[in-house]
A and B are shown apart, each in its own frame.
Chain A
Amino acid sequence: MSDTASTPPSAEIDEQTRRDFLLVSTATVGAVGTALSLWPFINSLNPAADTLALATTEVNLAPIKEGQSITVVWQGKPVFIRHRTAAEIEQAKKDDAAALPDPAKDADRVKKADWLIMVGVCTHLGCIPLGQKEGEPKGEFGGWFCPCHGSHYDTSGRIRKGPAPQNLHVPSYEFTSDTQVVIG
């Protein structure tokens, strides 16, 4: 380089600054462009259109007697539908005043007090709590018990004890008649 250049030293310094600017700005544009081009690859991992297009689930409640529960599938997830007994409803209302890790009133978790409808996925790490079938452990609060890491849910599906941070989620649902419910 020195063989060909006869520029004065001051010009060299200017050239360097100009070069630095061009180098930094080119590198920045390149880095931003590369980062943006990553997005389609990451986004391709998100749920595809057919996965998103999952239909709602319709359930006939007529055959479920008081004190019985059924599990239906909605968006691949189990949904617990429980026909609660009067004692369970009363207990759930009484526990509104108890110390709850995720405070919620029982009245806000149901549309009809008889029917408790929740996503049956433990809010800790996604296991399915026990308590739906006869003879399964229902935990210390008479609701559900997650066998994976020992979370206890009450008769309103609220977390009472154990590592789960939230109550069992309530999906959006609607009663189309007294005995028909559409989830989703």
Chain B
Amino acid sequence: MSEQHSTSKFMQNGVVKWIEHRMPIFSFIDHSVGSGYPAPKNLSYWWNFGSLAGLALIIMIVSGIVLAMHYTPHTTLAFNSVERIMRDVNGGWLIRYLHMNGGSFFFFAVFIHIFRGLYFGSYKYPRELLWIIGVLILLAMMATAFMGYVLPWGQMSYWGATVITNLFSAVPWVGDSIVTLLWGGFVVDNPTLNRFFSLHYLMPFVILGLVIVHIWALHTFGSNNPTGVDVKGPQDTIPFHPYFTIKDLYGMGVFLLIFCFFVFFAPNYFGEADNYIPANPLATPPHIVPEWYFLPFYAILRAFTNDFVLYWPISWLMTAKLAGVIAMFGSVILLALVPWLDTSKVRSARFRPVYKWFFWIFVLDWLVLGLVGAHPPEGAWVLIGQISTAYYFAHLLVILPILGVIERPLALPESISASVTQPAE
């Protein structure tokens, strides 16, 4: 393919040849996202969400750089500078709403991308490292989103920052010193706001670096595909360009259409009204809720109380608070271990009749956790939260390892090509 490309009209251009000889950037691009990159020919729309997440990252960086030009990171000025962006800066409302909703859409794309990987076994050999880098990207995104939410210095900003930084006080012995170090004071205050702004500007570029190694690892073995069967030869692939560039572009069109609906018609749908009240360090809002993309993890944090069954076996070792914090971070970090927790050799759930069901129960469990996180910890929500937290860990630590051993997978097709040319038995 690349040879064909190197003889193309474009590559014969004098300027292109001059640059290519000194730095082969055009063949690099061709081998990355061009006609020189063969991709499995059966990739479905579930494979669009990687490029959609990449698009969201670019939207966030571009809108964020412009917002930083108008924003003032000081406790007495931050809230008003955001209001100034909304009211006085030319098109400021648009740029801020793009940034606010861009965060939600970034997480939306990444969550679907992750569940795609879980369904089709994209994390299995030889893509374990690719998957681990992906989990690191998720963690970096969570840190970035959390710090960004603090910057407008509204009530939710302030109290979200207080609650989340206080998580670290659960660390034995040095917990309080860590929290003081994070704050740069004895409460969340101006030093905290300043460093969060600095880090919020830095982190997207860390994410960008991680995305580059994520794509590097991806391109070493190429994409997984809906059958989960390895590419056996040229008959199983089509060139990335134009076939998947156009499919990705189509996906981006749909994605941007929905994105624009929220930006223009429901810009505060994902937000909290309380964050339009300036931060008041002496009054906690009656109901602190994180952004929707943190709700399942928040529910896991809150599930750990003294009467939670999962806490009993470790109650001699640590407080319920520390257990909750470890469980919350563990719920993300455990995902990095899924390549080894899942003992099945078969990648795609298409050929795993039992796993297929457990996958959807896991999705449902995750959605229920999100619902629990959105409600105050009262009444039935406490028990529902504890049951769904227990199930989350049971899925990863018990069901995945056992299922791989006892499940009888269906017969795999010989190749991607054979899965369509030969009738299924």
B60 within 8 A of A: no
In angstroms, Cα B381 to Cα A150, docked, is 13
Q: Is B163 an interface residue (CB 8 A)?
A: yes
Is B321 a contact of A163 with CB atoms below 8 Å?
A: yes
B288 touches A127 (CB 8 A): yes
Contacts of B378 in A (CB 8 A): 150
> Interface stretch among B28-36, B240-248, B299-307, B342-350?
B299-307
A residues 90-128 near B (Cβ < 8 Å) are 101, 124-128
Cβ contact of B191, chosen from A48, A128, A149, A150, cutoff 8 A: A48
B405 to chain A, nearest CB (A): 37
Nearest Cβ distance between residue B385 and chain A, in whole angstroms? 11
CB contacts (< 8 Å) of A101 on chain B: these are 306
Max chain B CB contacts within 10 Å: which of A51, A77, A126, A165?
A: A126
Q: Which residues does chain B contribute within 8 Å of A85, judged by CB atoms?
A: none
Question: How far, in angstroms, from A51 to B286 measured CA to CA in the complex?
Answer: 29
Contact with A along B162-186 (1 / 0, CB 8 A): 1111110100000000001111111
Q: Is B209 an interface residue (CB 8 A)?
A: no
Question: Is B116 at the interface (CB under 8 A from chain A)?
Answer: no
* Minimum distance in angstroms from A33 CB to a CB of chain B: 23
Known: A48-B191, A165-B321. A128 touches B283 (CB 8 A): yes
Assuming the contacts A48-B191, A163-B320, asked whether A148 and B184 have C-beta atoms less than 8 A apart, the reply is: no
A47–B187 CB distance below 8 A: no
Query: Which residues of A112-162 are within 8 A (CB) of B?
Result: 124-128, 130, 146-150, 162
Q: Complex: how many Å from CA A148 to CA B301?
A: 12
Interface size class of B (residues with CB under 8 A): 35 or more
* Chain B 153-209 interface residues, beta-carbon cutoff 8 Å to A: 159, 162-167, 169, 180-187, 189, 191, 195
Contacts known (A46-B184, A163-B302, A163-B304); A126 close to B195, Cβ less than 8 A = no
Complex contact A75–B186 (CB within 8 A):
yes
- A38 surroundings in chain B (CB, below 8 A): none
Q: B281 at interface (Cβ–Cβ under 8 A)? A: yes
**Would you call A149 and B195 a contact (CB within 8 A)?**
no
Q: B residues within 8 A CB of A128?
A: 282-284
Q: Is the CB of A47 within 8 A of B302?
A: no
Given A47-B180, A163-B302, A165-B320, the answer on whether A75 and B283 have CB atoms closer than 8 Å is no
Alpha-carbon gap, A46 to B166, bound state (A): 16
Tell me if B321 and A124 are in contact (CB < 8 A).
yes
Among the listed B163, B165, B184, B319, which residue makes an inter-chain contact with A127, where contact means beta carbons less than 8 Å apart? B163
B22: interface (CB < 8 Å)? no
The 0/1 profile, CB within 8 Å of A marked 1, for residues 273-292 of chain B is 00000000111111110000
By a CB distance below 8 angstroms, the chain A residues around B166 are 124-126
A163 to B287 Cα, complex, angstroms: 16
Q: Which 10 A-B pairs have the closest CB atoms?
A: A126-B166, A76-B187, A125-B166, A125-B163, A127-B284, A165-B319, A128-B284, A126-B162, A75-B186, A51-B185
Q: Please list 30 pairs of residues, one from A and one from B, whose beta carbons are closer than 8 Å in the complex, sorted by A's number.
A: A47-B180, A47-B183, A47-B184, A48-B191, A51-B184, A51-B186, A73-B282, A76-B186, A76-B187, A76-B189, A77-B186, A78-B281, A101-B306, A124-B166, A125-B163, A125-B164, A125-B167, A127-B162, A130-B284, A130-B286, A146-B284, A147-B376, A148-B159, A149-B377, A150-B378, A163-B305, A163-B306, A163-B321, A163-B324, A164-B321
* Extra inter-chain contacts (13) besides given A71-B282, A163-B302, CB under 8 Å: A45-B195, A47-B183, A51-B184, A51-B189, A75-B186, A75-B187, A78-B281, A101-B306, A124-B166, A126-B165, A127-B159, A162-B305, A164-B321
> Which residues of A are in contact with B by a Cβ distance under 8 Å?
42, 45-48, 51, 54, 71, 73, 75-78, 101, 124-128, 130, 146-150, 162-165
